[in-house]
Amino acid sequence: MTPLPPAYFGLEPAAVWQHFGALNHIPRPSGREDAARAYVQNLAQNHGATWQTDARGNLVVRVAARGARPDAPIVVMQSHLDMVCQKRPDVTHDFNLDPILPRRDGDKIFASGTTLGADNGIGAAIMLAILTNPPARHGPLELLFTVEEETGLLGAAHLDGELVRGRLLVNLDSEEGNEITVGCAGGATTNLFLPVEREKVATGFPIISIAITGLAGGHSGIQIGENLGNAIKILGQILDAGSEDCPDLRLISLDGGTAHNAIPRDANAVVCVPPEQIGAFDAAFARISGEIEAKWRAFEPDLRLECEEVGVPGSLFPLSARHTAQVAGLVRDLPHGVAKMSARFEGKVQTSSNLAEVHGELDSEEITFSVSNRSFVADELHEMQQKVADLGRATGARIEARDGYPGWEPRGDSPLLHTAMRAFESVMGKAPHIEVVHAGLECGLLCEKLPDLDAVSFGPLIRGAHTPEEWVSIPSTAENFAVLNALLKRLG
């Protein structure tokens, strides 16, 4: 057993934090879940359970009933094994090799400058605690661990339906603590690949580095309606202002964002301008940075805008004037933020976009853009994808519309929901909130794969998912574990 990190000493339920600590110790970015899966398989074998995997690497662990009535239904509990890998720029961390280093602050668990992986490691740990420390009574269980959730719900999309026999699903990938989720938005990502030409410019053009850092970032679905800056969009404002006052500005490289489902925290560009326009550029940067500061300072207190002359090369091959304008135009025009609020679900975002990534290296002949869209309405999701594709085609970009995932429609009459509500009330002393979420949950895909599936989703309070500020609540984890135990007892 992996030694328990000090951050978890004395926490209850002890089994949950033991397993979460073990998962923290195992690198598990999307597509590299082998070691985490092996950890689960080992536990299953050591506790008398059986397991089975499908071709994609999804894993189900089958646990025999304990003290249950003969007709107790199979209950499927489900979490994903992978995590979003984000870190602060000043932190050295290899997510393929290094363990997550947890720290405790009051009643919260954080990581040390990286994502914590409570999304969805805490759900997986709760399931494993049920396996190793089972409640006094429960029916037959199937513990379903999916893979590659954070890269587009790919594990669930390729799940072999024969792997799962139960038709009552408890997804443990929600983040509100006192809520039961009964529906979610669908989502899809569109990538643009813009071919660019480079031209040699005269000797003596100064090179200028522009950096946007320190933004909070956030979950591109759950937090898209909050006042969170997008580093790529802010960089685009600076490029626009610089180009207006310096018509001969040329873009050399740009880079921003690291994941389709995270609001970009950092972005940078390298440009060059003729020596006689450097003063005008400096003035434009001072003007626009002041406007950006005024807009964002109250919401993004750690925002930093940096502009530095980094050298004067003998020869240089920036983008042509036409392609500099096209790239800057796409950064400006590609949608980001809330497109429409829901009329059906008060206070919920219905349709949104996240300008998630842009990449173009110093010598690249192609600039890539990635935009993630979400919506509760399939037609609106398609319309947003079409808008992104049309903007790309207008510049000559190649379009790649990645396979999306469906929304999860709330079920009109859910016996499982009613039982879960009673379990919540018995533990919490009050009724839970019933909500839908503007984020992707695997329940939508699982409902397509498994006919007649009755599903609910809940989980401990998590904030800052997909950012290095991610934390999970210690007391909420204990409450949700108790709720799950109460639910299993009622269903058994």
Q: Give pLDDT, residue 259.
A: 86
Within 8 A by CB and 6+ apart from 34, the residues are: 57
How far is the CA of 254 from the CAs of 301, 347, 439, in angstroms?
24, 36, 28
Across the chain, which has 492 residues, the per-10-residue mean pLDDT values are 87 96 96 97 96 97 93 96 92 95 96 95 97 92 96 91 96 94 92 94 84 93 94 96 91 92 94 92 94 95 93 76 94 96 88 96 91 92 95 96 83 90 95 90 91 95 93 97 96 93
How far is the CA of 195 from the CAs of 132, 331, 400, 470, in angstroms?
54, 15, 14, 37
Helix 34-46 / helix 14-24 crossing angle, nearest 10 deg: 150
Q: What's the start-to-end Cα distance of the chain, in Å? A: 30
Cα–Cα dist 206/80, whole Å: 49
Catalytic positions, please?
A: 82, 149
Q: Give pLDDT, residue 78.
A: 98
Q: Give pLDDT, residue 314.
A: 59
CATH 1.10.1670.10 fits 188-401, yes or no: no
Residue range(s) occupied by CATH 3.30.70.360 in the chain: 188-401
Residue range(s) occupied by CATH 3.40.630.10 in the chain: 6-185+407-491
Q: Which tokens in the block code for residue 330?
A: 């796409």
Burial of 96 (0-12, 13-18, 19+ CB in 10 A): exposed
CATH assignment of 6-185+407-491, among 3.40.50.300, 3.40.640.10, 3.30.565.10, 3.40.630.10: 3.40.630.10
Cα–Cα dist 91/490, whole Å: 46
Burial of 313 (0-12, 13-18, 19+ CB in 10 A): middle
Helix 474-491 / helix 415-428 crossing angle, nearest 10 deg: 130
| E strands in 196-275 | 207-213, 218-219, 250-256, 262-263, 267-272
Q: Give pLDDT, residue 6.
A: 92
Q: Is 281 helix (H, G, I), strand (E, B) or coil?
A: helix
Q: Residue 478: what residue type?
A: A
Within 8 A by CB and 6+ apart from 165, the residues are: 74, 142
Cα dihedral 67, 69, 70, 76 sign: negative
Cα–Cα dist 28/35, whole Å: 8
Q: What is the largest CA-CA distance in the chain?
A: 85
Give the CA count within 13 Å in the CB-facing half-sphere of 417: 18
Other Cβ atoms within 10 Å of 256 Cβ, number: 25
Q: Give pLDDT, residue 225.
A: 94
Q: Which tokens in the block code for residue 33?
A: 């879940």
pTM of the model: 0.80
> Do residues 354 and 263 make contact, with C-beta atoms less than 8 angstroms apart?
yes
